[in-house]
Amino acid sequence: MALKAIIHKASVSFSDLDQNVYRDHEVTLARHPSETEERMLVRLLAWVLNVPENNDLGTLEFGKDLWESDEPALLQNDLTGLRMHEIELGQPEEKRLVRACGRSKQVTVYCYSNNAAAWWAGVTGKLARVSNLRVWQLPADPVKALADLVDRAMTLQITVQEGIITVDGGGKSVELTPVRLFGAEGGRS
């Protein structure tokens, strides 16, 4: 018998003080049986940081990357079906990123393990000519601490100030400082 996804509901209040963006979201997440709680919250965080202000260019949706190996963790298609944005988590293969950059207007990667720098050193030369890729490294220890915030029904406050992301929930707080490894200057997307 196949294991079923675990459903989590998150009520998220987002404040980006650096870019004057303030939003509230009600999000339902289906966590694949093999997905860790840390990865699920990185996926939620990536969604919150990249969700468009309006849906004129399509909505940012959770992909089926753990169910379908060709899909990204998050994707945004415009109303004509053109791929606007793909978001990958972890340490995707260089071939996967090149393919994604060829079919999408923008590609963002959030890597979050202790060996992310070694992974990036191994693929960076092959991706040097790609202009629509941004790669962010989230520090591994704070990402592990995100698991303490997970519940089936979560209320989270996510704040960005001076480049530091603070995630508060359940009486606990985690601070993450993303490091841009590759891509144009600008936001976290």
In this predicted structure, the answer to whether residue 106 has a pLDDT above a threshold of 70 is yes
What is the per-residue pLDDT for 187? 53
pLDDT digits (tens, 9 = 90+) for 109-136: 999 999 998 999 999 988 988 999 999 9
Q: Check which CATH number belongs to the domain holding 78 and give it.
A: 3.10.640.10
What is the per-residue pLDDT for 58? 86
What is the SS3 assignment for 44? helix
Note whether residue 51 is domain-resident: yes
In this predicted structure, the answer to whether residue 77 has a pLDDT above a threshold of 80 is yes
Model confidence at 57, pLDDT cuts 50, 70, 90, reads: confident
pTM of the full predicted structure? 0.93
Q: Following DSSP, what letter does each residue of 119-156 receive, concatenated? A: HHHHHGGGGTT-SSEEEEE--HHHHHHGGGG--SEEEE
Q: How many domains does the chain have?
A: 1
Note whether residue 112 is domain-resident: yes
Note whether residue 166 is domain-resident: no
Note whether residue 9 is domain-resident: no
In this predicted structure, the answer to whether residue 11 has a pLDDT above a threshold of 60 is yes
Note whether residue 13 is domain-resident: no
What is the per-residue pLDDT for 7? 95
97/15 Cα distance (integer angstroms): 30
Domain that holds residue 79: 35-138
